[in-house]
Amino acid sequence: MILLALALLAAPDGLAEKLRHLSSADAAWAPSPAPDASRVAFLTTLFGTRQAASMAGDGGYPSQLTDEPGGVLAVRYLPGDPSRILALVDRGGRRRIVMLDEAGSAPVEIDPAPGDQFLGGFTRDGKRVFYAVVDKGAVSLRAHTLDNKKPVEIAPPPPAAGVQPPAGSLPLGDLLAGLFALGPPSPDGRTLLALVQRGQGEAVALVDLSAGRGELLTDKPARFRHPRFAPDGRTVYVLTDAGRTTLGVDAITMQGKVRKTVYAPGQNLESFAITDDGHRLAVAAESGGETLFSLLQLPSLRAEPLAAPPAGALAPVYPGESPMVWDKTGERLFFGWRLADDTTDVWELRLGYGTPLRLTRSPRPGLPRDAIVRPAPVKAGELSGWLWRPPDPAKPRVAVLISANGTRPVFDKRVAALNFAGLAVLAVNGPGAQSAALAYLRAAPDLDAHDPILLDFDGLPVEGNWSGVVMPPGKQGGLTLDPDQPDLDALVKYARRGGPAL
């Protein structure tokens, strides 16, 4: 044990320099094209903390749009004005919606009301935006008219004699309890979608904006993501696992609330995007840890050719935002893309073009691609996983990652830092992953199975017999680090010393 500790304290050659280069690597993701696609806004760490930036629609040098100390969570162009942008920012631990422009004016909050704000969507003419304010558990649904800059609360009209609310409808306070994402309004601007927590699952809510009431479109708890209206406003498309084990695209008709499957392959769908004319459906399916795109015609589901980006995975976005976004003409699909040995960047797939276009090239100075360890697939019993194994030492110690959403085979600064420190990183996905990982380590002849380090990025509890595992004091599952700006020195210090308090 003493020899092991001494070996860990002996820093690999150039570790400090490698960590410095790694800290300088940046990322760009969560794109939002302008209405005419002449420019695209996105999030990036190029300017330090997570900020909003924009650049020409065909690529170029990014212009910084925000300088928020707490960072930016989402960004969207106004549909009717390509020079103005709304951003969801973190101010003092509260989510706030601010208005900004391409000229670099200071962002201004659209509503001074206290609480967390949820960005919903714009009317088709782009003159009104819907959002919600949640303060001390109370939900207030609001509309902001961009011309007069006055927020208006959505509320039922004064009661009329003998007029009863529609059967099955609920007051907004009850309907929107447990709100976690606000969807877009219908094409005619009369209704609005929302996602709410219900029991052990989620539900899709429909708000009648004129009545100030609403109803649930779904009756069985399940996962629901990215609800979107069809162009005619009579159907809602949603990503859900209701009635099956994997996420797929379903359609819910407004008349009768009938839900039917539109597209649900054997793989889990990560996201989908429908063009404004409703004729094309782009889907992103997970396969072997990577993301595969498909383009289908609606309603026939006939496949259309679509260029494929290099092997990688979609970059996650803030809840309520879409990882994939079509431009208004339905000719260009924008998304954030993660690679195994390169930075996360904004990419574009254009119909009729044989190759994808990488719009941003986030810097990674001093860090060549061949210095980044690529993960190898492994089998831990019946479960699949990934192993990032550094070239030295010959029998490295191991850090085991646990994650609520599973670990993908993509470049992660936290994993790369551990590799540079001489540690292998093992991630196993699925039920019982922690026990399967421990069994895999005990049977691996080329890995040091003694005193593995358990690192948790999501706050999960420890499962199975992990006696002797090194974990930080006071933590159940390991060291939690900001994925965008992790403290790499602290991570490596913790891993190499065997778990002293940071």
Q: What is the pLDDT of residues 98-118, one digit of tens each?
A: 999 988 788 999 999 999 999
Residues 6-29 have a mean pLDDT of: 77
> How crowded is residue 425: how many other Cβ atoms within 10 Å of its Cβ?
27
d(CA 415, CA 374): 10
Q: What percent of the chain has pLDDT over 90?
A: 65
pLDDT of the residue at 477: 43
> How crowded is residue 149: how many other Cβ atoms within 10 Å of its Cβ?
11
- Is a pLDDT exceeding 50 seen at residue 7? no
Residues 117-136 have a mean pLDDT of: 92
pLDDT of the residue at 501: 32
Higher pLDDT, 434 or 324: 324
d(CA 104, CA 226): 31
> How crowded is residue 362: how many other Cβ atoms within 10 Å of its Cβ?
18
Confidence category of residue 64, pLDDT binned at 50, 70, 90: very high
d(CA 420, CA 18): 7
Of 324, 240, 247, 231, the C-alpha closest to 279 is 231
pLDDT of the residue at 13: 65
Q: With contact defined as beta carbons under 8 Å apart, do 252 and 267 qualify? A: no
> How crowded is residue 227: how many other Cβ atoms within 10 Å of its Cβ?
24
- Is a pLDDT exceeding 80 seen at residue 45? yes
Confidence category of residue 475, pLDDT binned at 50, 70, 90: very low
Instruction: Tell me what the pLDDT averaged over the chain comes to.
Output: 88
Helical axes 15-24 vs 488-497, angle rounded to 10°: 140
pLDDT of the residue at 162: 61
pLDDT of the residue at 163: 67
- Is a pLDDT exceeding 70 seen at residue 499? no
Angle at 88 between CA 141 and CA 230, to 5 degrees: 60
Residues 225-239 have a mean pLDDT of: 94
d(CA 294, CA 283): 5
Tokens 């001494």 correspond to 6
Of 214, 193, 213, 212, the C-alpha closest to 204 is 193
Half-sphere exposure of 194 (CA within 13 A, CB side): 31
Q: Is 2 exposed, middle or buried (0-12, 13-18, 19+ CB in 10 A)?
A: exposed
Higher pLDDT, 327 or 402: 327
d(CA 226, CA 424): 36
> What residue type is 114 in one-letter code?
P
Higher pLDDT, 10 or 468: 468
Half-sphere exposure of 3 (CA within 13 A, CB side): 1
Residue 335: which H helix or E strand, with range? strand 332-339
- Is a pLDDT exceeding 80 seen at residue 188? yes
pLDDT of the residue at 451: 80
- Is a pLDDT exceeding 80 seen at residue 474? no
Angle at 462 between CA 401 and CA 9, to 5 degrees: 50
Q: Which of 58-67, 132-141, 395-404 has the lowest mean pLDDT?
A: 395-404
Q: What percent of the chain has pLDDT over 70?
A: 90
Confidence category of residue 276, pLDDT binned at 50, 70, 90: very high
Alpha helices in 25-160 (DSSP H): none
Confidence category of residue 26, pLDDT binned at 50, 70, 90: very high
Contacts of 487 by beta carbon, 8 Å cutoff, 6+ apart: 481
Question: What is the distance of C-alpha 124 from the center of its chain?
Answer: 25
Of 335, 354, 356, the C-alpha closest to 344 is 335
Angle at 450 between CA 448 and CA 452, to 5 degrees: 90
Question: What is the distance of C-alpha 264 from the center of its chain?
Answer: 21
- 388 bridge partner residues: 425
- Is a pLDDT exceeding 50 seen at residue 172? yes
Q: Verify cis geometry, omega within 30 degrees of 0, for the bond prior to 319.
A: no
- Is a pLDDT exceeding 60 seen at residue 389? yes
Confidence category of residue 488, pLDDT binned at 50, 70, 90: confident
pLDDT of the residue at 156: 86
Confidence category of residue 484, pLDDT binned at 50, 70, 90: confident
pLDDT tens-place string over residues 325-379: 999 999 999 999 999 999 999 999 999 888 899 999 999 999 999 999 999 999 9
Ranked by mean pLDDT, which of 72-76, 81-85, 432-436 comes out on top?
Answer: 72-76
Contacts of 445 by beta carbon, 8 Å cutoff, 6+ apart: none
Q: With contact defined as beta carbons under 8 Å apart, do 414 and 481 qualify? A: yes
Q: Is 72 exposed, middle or buried (0-12, 13-18, 19+ CB in 10 A)?
A: buried
d(CA 214, CA 179): 13
pLDDT of the residue at 496: 74
